[in-house]
């Protein structure tokens, strides 16, 4: 595993690009929790106090997707690499459905952030957060879900699926970056370069590959019906925030209406100018909304 100093070496660039003051490298450490079957789930633990937030990334991402948000929040928190992603171990059965991920993450959250005020999940992480709330409600005091509902279907997510279902290996870093830039035309190349450095690894022959388990988001496994997960929405009994990207088509008005029908108290916020990955497109606005919600 690369040294933590290497992982954190880009944080100043994150801060400067977002217009955040840089006061030196923040307190961040790598932690791991070993599951009963011996697999490790790894996380970035920010700050020195008891974590106030737990952040779960989307499919084909990793804990570093939250770096700018974490810098803006400036609160103790935990950003977890989901199993099969980042520096967490892969599952032998390649099952990364939200209920299975929630089962894996329950002991992780109990170990690292049992008293967190807010659980945040984006995309796959959002569905996993809903399942974790249903499975272990004592761990969830407030819940924020970023740009996903159980109504999300393949048609809505097709551009994302097309990107992550592409080549498993690339001849060079530049080739990988070029494909990433083409998929994200509204993001700066510097931010995408950081993302690729955190989310890919170089093999001895000089080729590059993504860190996630390639069987997780292959064309053969993405046609999953999440309709059964509406029961997890029904189980929400805590303050609930649903965030939509203003330019994202992943969550439709019909999805929001169904969430409201099941959880009348849900608060819905649209982040203008943001696509599906709100944490990458509008990290400061997302941090503001999460901070306000965590303290409400």
Q: Which of 198, 216, 276, 281 is catalytic?
A: 276
Q: Which of 147, 213, 255, 281 is catalytic?
A: 147
Active site residue 276: yes
Active site residue 216: no
Long-range contacts formed by 32-40: CB under 8 A, 24+ apart: 33/107, 33/108, 33/111, 33/112, 35/104, 35/107, 36/107, 39/83, 39/88, 39/89, 39/91, 39/104, 40/88, 40/89
Cα Rg of the chain, angstroms = 18
- Pairing label, strands 200-202, 169-170: unpaired
Q: What per-residue string of b and e applies to 21-54 under the rule 16 or more CB within 10 Å gives b?
A: eeeeeeebebebbebeeebebbbbbbbeeebbbb
**CA separation for the pair 242, 47 (Å, rounded):** 26
Active site residue 123: yes
- Decide if 226 contacts 127 (C-beta within 8 A): yes
Q: Which of 57, 64, 88, 123 is catalytic?
A: 123
Tell me the catalytic residues: 123, 147, 276
């Amino acid at each position: 595993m690369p040294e933590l100093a290497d992982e954190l070496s880009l944080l100043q660039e994150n801060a400067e690009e977002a217009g955040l003051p840089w006061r030196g490298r923040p307190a961040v450490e790598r932690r791991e929790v070993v599951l009963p079957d011996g697999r490790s789930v790894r996380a970035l633990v920010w700050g020195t106090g008891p974590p106030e937030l737990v952040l779960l990334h989307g499919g084909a991402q990793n804990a570093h997707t939250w770096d700018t948000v974490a810098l803006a929040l400036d609160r103790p928190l935990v950003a977890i690499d989901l199993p099969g992603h980042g520096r967490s171990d892969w599952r032998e059965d390649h099952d990364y459905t939200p209920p299975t991920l929630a089962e894996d993450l329950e002991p992780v959250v109990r170990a690292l952030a049992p008293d967190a005020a807010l659980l945040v999940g984006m995309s796959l992480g959002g569905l996993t957060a809903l399942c974790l709330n249903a499975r272990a409600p004592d761990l969830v005091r407030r819940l924020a879900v970023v740009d996903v509902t159980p109504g999300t279907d393949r048609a809505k997510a097709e551009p994302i699926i097309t990107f992550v279902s592409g080549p498993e290996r690339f001849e060079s870093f530049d080739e990988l970056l070029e494909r990433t830039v083409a998929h994200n035309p509204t993001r700066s190349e510097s931010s995408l370069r950081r993302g690729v450095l955190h989310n890919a690894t170089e093999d001895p022959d000089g080729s590059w590959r993504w860190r996630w388990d390639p069987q997780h988001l292959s064309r053969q496994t993405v046609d999953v019906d999440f309709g059964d997960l509406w029961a997890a929405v029904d189980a929400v009994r805590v303050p609930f925030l649903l965030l939509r990207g203003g330019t994202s088509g992943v969550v439709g008005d019909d999805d929001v209406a169904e969430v409201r029908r099941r959880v009348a108290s849900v608060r819905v916020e649209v982040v203008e100018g943001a696509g599906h990955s709100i944490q990458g497109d509008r990290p400061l606005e997302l941090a503001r909304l999460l901070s306000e919600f965590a303290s409400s």
